[in-house]
Structure 1
Amino acid sequence: MMSAMTSLFLVLATIVNGLYAGFMLTFLIAIMPGLAELTDQQFAAAMRRFNEKVPGPAFLVLFLGVVALPAAAFLTGLGEHDEVTGPAVLAALICVIIGHLITVIGNIPLNNALAASEGGDDSAARAAFEPRWNTLHQVRTAFSLVACALLAVAL
């Protein structure tokens, strides 16, 4: 049986990962398809504004919480987890870390390049940004959804 602390971390990890997965999924199924219909100049301007606004305090709580809370649930539950819970929480943590690596190594450099291109050729900037960013985003969204599902299983 899990301690109250481990249970709390697991519930919070599941909630925060659900919020994060929902945020990622919203970009995938609503925001990016909507932006795809814009002109190059409108698309580049909109993405630049998103990239300025998203990394605020609320997002940083989610971005850090999706790693810290499953890690806390796993570590505080060492010796408590059954044959399903421990592996599910660890697998969820691995999924989140992979998603974050994709973000840091792939998406953020693309965001920075798009920001640096302001005042330049928006058509070229979009062509260099959109397909790669979307592909990376699809992969990291899948990892975040799998992490959320694994944490739900662990509950």
Structure 2
Amino acid sequence: MINQLIPCVILFGAMGSGLVAGVFFAFSSFVMKALARLPDEQGIAAMQSINIVVLNRSFLTVFLGTALVTILLITHSIFNWESANAIPLFAGSLLYFVGSFLVTVVRNVPLNDALARVDTKEGESLTLWKDYLSKWTIWNHIRTLASFAAMVLFILAL
């Protein structure tokens, strides 16, 4: 029974990681560049607002749902290692879970939390903003590539 559901789970993993890759790509490609062009106080305020608004049902369902799918697919691939698609399933799942989910939790969220505490009227906020833009964007590039590569591997596994 569960083996009949696995292709649907893989498809959800491919679609979820693809959607997440697209969101992250947009930030790496133009959102962060646009925020960097704003006066610092406005860029900080805009990113603070984005970090609040992103915590919504649609994004979190895809982002966290895909992370849960990867845990299931890692487990499935380990118990079915002789299967032809076990390696791309395992690799894609690990890439998404580590490179997208864990990087978000361990790198991007702490940066967002620090930015949330910033008062744009303080001089030190401008230094933090420049550092934030650089570090957050680098980690976002990693999340983008990991999510995209996971999607490709899930498609190959199908």
TM-score, with length taken from structure 2? 0.87
**What is the match of residue 9 of structure 1?**
9
Name stretches of at least 5 consecutive residues in structure 1 with no aligned partner.
none
Determine the C-alpha separation between the residues in 1 that align with 2:135 and 2:156: 32
Determine the C-alpha separation between the residues in 2 that align with 1:149 and 1:117: 38
Equivalent position to 2:152, from 144, 149, 152: 149
**What is the match of residue 117 of structure 2?**
116
Change beyond 3 A, Cα 1:39–1:81: farther
Determine the C-alpha separation between the residues in 2 that align with 1:58 and 1:8: 20
Determine the C-alpha separation between the residues in 2 that align with 1:37 and 1:81: 52
Which runs of structure 2 are paired with 1:51-130 in the superposition (5 Å)? Answer: 51-76=51-76, 78-79=79-80, 82-83=83-84, 85-99=85-99, 100-119=101-120, 120-121=122-123, 122-130=125-133
Residues 84-113 of structure 1 deviation map (CA, whole Å, 9 limit, x = unaligned) = x11111111111121222111111111011
Matched residue count:
153
SS at match of 1:138: helix
The answer (yes or no) to whether the contact 1:44–1:125 under 8 Å persists in 2 is no
Determine the C-alpha separation between the residues in 1 that align with 2:94 and 2:81: 20
The answer (yes or no) to whether the contact 2:40–2:129 under 8 Å persists in 1 is yes
Range 46-55 or range 114-123, more displaced: 114-123
Determine the C-alpha separation between the residues in 1 that align with 2:57 and 2:82: 32
Determine the C-alpha separation between the residues in 1 that align with 2:111 and 2:74: 33
Change beyond 3 A, Cα 1:17–1:81: farther
Which of structure 1's runs of 4+ aligned residues deviate more than 4 A? none
Equivalent position amino acid for 2:23 in 1: F
Equivalent position amino acid for 1:114 in 2: L
SS at match of 1:3: helix
Range 108-117 or range 125-134, more displaced: 125-134
Equivalent position amino acid for 1:130 in 2: L
- Identical positions, percent: 27
